[in-house]
Each structure stands twice: as C-alpha cells, then as structure tokens.
Structure 1
C-alpha cells in the first residue's frame, strides 16, 4: 500500500542535504535507483510502507516522524503574508498555499524573503540593535536566521562534535568545569578570563591581543558561564561556524554576522549541556526544566532552548516548539518542530499561555492549545526577568513558551495529573488576527483578511470585531 503524503519527498530531500549525503549514495543504501529517488524527492512517486521504514531507519527516526510535515511553519508563514492587504484581490485559497509549501518549499521560502524585503522597504527603516551576549542582536536579519534554524531543524552535527571535543579536553584538565575551561583557554588560545566591572551594557570585553577576556561581574552565574562558553565557540569552532554559514543560503549584509553569533551560542549550549548526558537527563527527569537546569547549572531559558536541538539521528528528543516574547508581544525567538505555527510578522494569539504567563511571574503555566486546523498542543510557559546584579538595574521581562504535539505530552512531567482527553480544558488559539478563521473570538485586535465587520446604531457586540461577515 502506498503512503500518499505529498511532503515526505521534500522531507527526505532536506534530511539528505542536511547530512551532506549524495543522492546516489542514499539510493544505493535504500536499494533503489538514483532516478527513482529523484522522483520520490520531488513528490512524483508515492512511497510504499516498506520504503518508508527503510528511509526512517537510515535517518534514525521513527516512520511517523518522517510522515509528519516539517513544513507547517512554512505554510503558516505563507498564509500570514498572503493575509496582508497587499494580496487582498488575489483570491488565493489555503489549499493553494499549502500546495506551494509542500511541492516547492524552496520557492515558498523565496516568496517569504521577497515579502520581508518589501516590508523592510515599505517601513523605510531598520530595527534597533542590542548587544546581549546570550540573546544576540535583533534587527531585520532575524527572520532570515529563524528560517535558517528551521531549515536545519535547529541541529548542527559539526558544532555538536566540536563542543564534545572541547568538553573532553576541559574534563581532562580538571574535575571542576570552570577550572578546566580556564586551563583550556590558556593552553590552547593563550586567553585568560576574569570577572570585571565593565561599562554599562557590556557583557564581555576582549583585549586587543586576545589574551584577556573580561566578563561583567554583575551577570548571573549561568549567564556568565554562557558568555565565556560563547567566546570559546568563536575561537574553537571558528572553522565549523564559517563552513555552515558558507554552505547556507543566508542573504548578505547583516545575516551572516548574526548567524555567527547564533551558532556560537549553539556551541556554548552544547558545551555546557553535552548532548548525550543532556538527552539522558531529559528522559530521566521527563523534561523537568528546573531539575535539568540544576543538574547543568544553567538557566530555565538555556535548558528550554537546548531541548529544541535534540535532533541527532537515532538519539532524538521530543519534537518541540519554542517561542520567546517580551511584555510588549515582540517575538524574538521562534522555532517549531511540533507543527504549531508561530507568527512571523505579528504578535501571537493573546489566548496563548506564553502571554498570560506574564500575569504569574516565575510560575509554570500549562495549557492545551488548539490551532484552527484542529491540532492540539501541550504548552508550558513561564515569564522571567533579566538584568544585572546591581541596585536600580533596569529589568527586561520575557516569557518562554515550550511545547509539543499532544501525542507526546505524557513524556513531560508537566502533564502529570492532567486529563489530556478532557476537551473542556482545550483553549482555542490562533496565529494572528489577520489570518485566524475563528469568527467568534472576542479578543480580536483586527478583523480577518477578506472579511468585513458590521456596526450599527441599534446593537453592539462585546468586541468591536465580534460581528463579522
């Protein structure tokens, strides 16, 4: 019986390219001709169940994971941009947008980049930049980096290997990680680090000769450690980072510089939370973020972010999504393997617990979230603040959302005591008001695209956009 799923071929092609496997080599390993594999990759042949299992075994993933779409974020992004007033007269259907994403994702991503450029030119400006060592600068290249991470499933084997190599040297130098890292940096790069009182806004500073690394003494311990590990990545994984960027399709100008910062952060997380011990901790503690943070002396956010990178073939974690937003609703981190769509250009749905988490700082909020397509997700969210250890330090408020498809929910400790079959607990959420089809929502900020709302002097709905036709 054939597996009639139009996106499997594209997923096989992406998995092969991510692992730098030649088409002929994969075809030989599976036992088919290269020409037949080419037809499969371009969705011109259905995949039989035996072949599906062969491909899944080769890539070290479950057959169900191969059949699941990893283009859901692309579909949502395309729906979001085609919901713009620019396309009001185009009469595009959701199915036509899905067909574009599944049959030709490369063209779909090109459309996204084109719209991003249009949007940037239309607004006539660039976003501000910051210099947070852990979070990276934010500017118009951020969307390109989000796409870059999504295309690579937020997993970079060469950086994992580099981090494991450096971690072995550190552990061999000392039983204490901090001392071992100090020894490694001195012996390999002639660099010593120390805590120092730096000018306001600086997290770290390197001397002109590269021999002295100063880290701000007002940083929380886990942020200071990450800052040092980040700089170590720029030194120890320079070759791997540059090769990944050179092999990418990132646009010129700001994107490569931001990618270098992001990839160094990836290395830092892999160094502080080595893959196999971290995956084992996730499995043993059932993704208890606080327990795992304690185990690796890292922060809640660092652990959540690291959980999304566990995509090693044959040793993968739960396919998760992650979103980070500030108190004004600006999304600064977004990544999805769970299938949930996270907005590209607008704030997420106010019904989502990543926003209500701000009302209960420090508490883990749990929600069964259902998207308009009927898929339900198990989501946790927590708000927190950042800022240096000093009097009157300005605080920055963020919320992290982490989740998975409800099918994986029982693997998370947060699902204990929750009746996952109780549909009354499900909270309907959307993506953005402009493309959300939920006409009955009383929290709309805008009417949906291609619809009009009615006002009259005789009656008024509780919500301004509550009467839509």
Structure 2
C-alpha cells in the first residue's frame, strides 16, 4: 500500500530534543546536512527512505510507528471542523491539514474544542427558549465527550494498565482455562472478597460491599458478563493507583469527567485482564480473527472481543489496524475507535450505505461488505447485532450493531475475506463518513446536503436528488 510522502518533522525534532542533541550533532549521526535536517523538522521536505532507515538503526525507531496513521484521527477531526459553513470559503488541502496537525497539534485540538463549543451553543439556542445564562452553559463539552475524546486521541491504548493486566493474567493463568473460577479464586485469595449470586433488582448488575468484602452479581448474567464484572472488581482493587494517575494526568475540566474516565479505565483493565495482550493477539492471528472462535476460547462476548481488537495498539507490537463501532437502533454511535484511515464523524449519523445498519435485519449473522470511501481507500466491513439486558419474558433488552473492519490490504488476516473477490472494483459499495461532510454529489441515499458546496436547484427538472451540488470555488 502506497503511503505517499512522509512529513514527520515534529517527531524528528522531539526525538532530537529527547536525545539532547543539537541539529549539527543529530544531522551528523543521521549522515545528512544540517540544512536538510532543518527542512525536515519544519516539514518543508519529507523524510527519505535513507533517513528513515538511519532513524531506525541509530535510535531504534519502529518504522511502522513513524509511518502509521497516528495522526489520521486528528486530521479527520480537523477536516470535519473546517467543513462547517462557519469557515465557508476556506477549503484546506490534505497536505495543509497534515502540516497543521504535525507541527501544531495543540492548536488543532484547541480549534476542534472551540468548534464543538460553537455547535453546542448553536444547538442549544435553536432547540430551547431559555435564559441566556443556561444557553451559554452548554458551550463546554459534556463530561462524556471529554472522556470519549481522551480515549480517541490516545489511540484507545493505555500502556500502564495494559501491561499490568497482562502481567496479572500470566500470574493467575488467564487464557489457559475457564476464566470464571480463576478470577473468583484470585479475588477471594488475594483480597478476601466473596462472590454471591442473587436475583436482586431488575436493573442491578453488580454491587460491592467494601465492609463485608462481598461482591453480589445478578444471577441471570450471561457467563461472559459475569466474568467481566469479576475482572472489573479486581481492577478496582488491583489497579486503583494506576487508574487514578492516568485520570489525574488527563487534565479534565470537571471532576465528573474524571470519575467517568476512572470507570472507563477500570473497564479497560478488566478487558485487558480477560483478553491478555500477547496471548489474545497470537490467538487472533491463529484463527484469522474469527470472532466466534475468539469469544469461545476466552469465555468472552463478541462485543468484548471486538472492543479488545481495537485496543491492540502497543508500540512495536501492534495488531492489525481496525475500526470498531457500536451503534444503537437510532444510528447513534455509542462506542467508536479507528486505527485505520476511516475515521467516524464527530457529529451526525453514519453513512446509510454502510452495512452496520443492516445488522438489525440479520440477527445472529455476521454480515460482510466490501466498501470504498471517497478518498479511494477500500475496506472489509463486518457487522452483527448483539443484545443485552435482563433475562425473562418481561425484561427489556437493548439491541446494538457492532461494526468491525480493516483496510483491504489487511483483509487476508480475516477469515471472512476468503471467498470475496477483493480485486473486483465493482464489488465495492461506495460509502462515506457522514452526509454532512461526504463528497459524493450524486448519492441517492444522501440525507442532508453537504456543508461544503453550493446547492443548485432546478425548478423544471426533478432528479433523485432534488438539487445538484457545485463544489466550492466553482461558479
């Protein structure tokens, strides 16, 4: 897969400064001129293959880390922000966006935050007739949005927690047998916590009594959920100090966001304990990412497996780059992460042509789709419906679609691609990210006009789309 020219000036500068070297010293070690190094650090020239190899040899830099899609999330978020009509008349090129995110990522984040505040304020003013004070109170990001963005921009990987969970999993034998008895025995042996299964109230999943050292679990929980809740209790007792340090270092504006993040971090540790990094990644490669087999081997649910696959981002030991999302029936994306070039829209619904929405029509089945985004990148997309909630005839259940996929260049790592004609251009469905920022002018499934582009309405002609879209700068 072609990667194009590589501009990594900020990374090179950070590496040089971390080694406490002047430009002259650093250039000498790389075997290049000082002027060339200066141009690289200021993103005026891309790095050559020779420089990349020198960085890898002299400073033990992982080339995959340098050329990976780490900045894609920030580029995508910034591109969506600048697509707003607020910035009408300004259409930056991809190269310009990359230069901004590579040289001034703090500025990019600040602009995204300011735009989010603008959107919140606009939506509040448009939807309610309230006091000005309450309208202005809505401009800040909600605590959930703060936490969502925190995980998004750390690549959905928390190194300290992941390593600690993997170490503990190895010590107690997770991945070698049914995790339920192993986790329960460790919890009682190490922390004196007993597990009680009781019917409880309809909506109670778990309850922990610190004084009595008693963990109560709903009797009707599926085995995978029960395993996760025991692992979560271990996370709170075993990894509390690490969780507190990570949450404190995130710089959240409110205590509420910090508490929500702590819940997310405890959940992260629980998932990493049940599906330890090295063992899980090796199993995924062995069964070629067969989700059902991975769930059966580790006593986990499909959602736990999909979510864990999205966190395999350990530097130097990354798994196959995938995207993962959980979508409810209304189209709201309640979980999302992407290590691919496909980045989910921060606002608005997902593309209606994406097979994630078809999961609700095919319960119990994994649906497959070959798709191509407007930038020409092709993907293998998987989707499936999962349900959660209480047991029993009258208990309500929630239904979600899980979406998982990779770029076609990695499709051979997935058993689901075996009988698909990956070389047939006609086999790929054209999809977008979100109608409001999609570049496809003639899409019959378009729900709303794009933010960028001028609408041309023809009163004497009616086509599938009641208007045509003229790109910015034309006419």
Q: TM-score band (shorter)?
A: 0.7 to 0.9
1:12-411 to 2 correspondences below 5 Å: 23-24=18-19, 31=29, 43=43, 46-55=46-55, 61=62, 63-64=63-64, 66-88=66-88, 90-95=89-94, 96-124=96-124, 140-171=142-173, 177-209=179-211, 211-411=213-413
User: What is the distance in 2 between the residues matched to 1:10 and 1:289?
Assistant: 38
Q: Higher mean Cα deviation, 113-122 or 273-282?
A: 113-122
Distance 1:156 1:429 in 2: 31
Checking the alignment, whether the CA contact within 8 Å between 2:200 and 2:218 is kept in structure 1 is yes
SS in 1 for 2:117: helix
Q: Look up the SS of the partner of 2:19 in the other structure.
A: helix
CA distance in 2, matches of 1:91, 1:23: 37
Deviation at 1:436, TM superposition (A): 1.0
Please give the alpha-carbon distance, in whole angstroms, between the structure 2 residues aligned to 1:289 and 1:29: 46
Deviation at 1:394, TM superposition (A): 1.0
Does the CA contact (< 8 Å) of 1:56 and 1:66 recur in 2? Answer: no
- Structure 1: which 4+ aligned runs deviate by more than 4 Å? 10-14, 25-33, 35-42, 54-61, 454-457
Q: Report if the CA contact (8 A) 1:6-1:43 is conserved.
A: no
The more displaced of 370-379 and 22-31 is 22-31
CA contact (8 A) 2:178 2:299 kept: no
Aligned-partner Cα distance in 1 for 2:228–2:348: 30
Task: For residue 60 of structure 1, report the CA deviation from its aligned partner.
Answer: 7.0
* Residue of structure 2 in register with 1:8 after alignment: 8
State the TM-score, normalizing by the size of structure 1: 0.85
Separation of aligned partners in 1, 2:167 and 2:291: 26
SS across alignment from 1:389: coil
| Structure 2 portions without partners, runs of 5+ | 126-140, 471-475
* Whole-angstrom distance in 2 between the partners of 1:7 and 1:69: 12
Q: Which has the larger radius of gyration?
A: 2
Give RMSD over aligned pairs.
Answer: 3.1
Runs of 5+ unmatched residues, structure 1: 126-138
Do the aligned residues in 1 keep the contact of 2:351 with 2:431 (CA within 8 Å)?
yes
Cα gap change, 1:145 to 1:52, in 2 (>3 Å): farther
Q: Judging changes above 3 Å, is the alpha-carbon distance between structure 1 residues 441 and 12 closer, same or farther for their aligned structure 2 residues?
A: farther
- Cα distance change on mapping 1:39 and 1:150 into 2, 3 Å: farther
Contact kept in structure 1, 2:7 and 2:40, CA below 8 Å:
no
For residue 98 of structure 1, report the CA deviation from its aligned partner: 4.2
User: Contact 1:59–1:314 at 8 Å: present in 2 too?
Assistant: no
State TM-score, norm by structure 2: 0.84
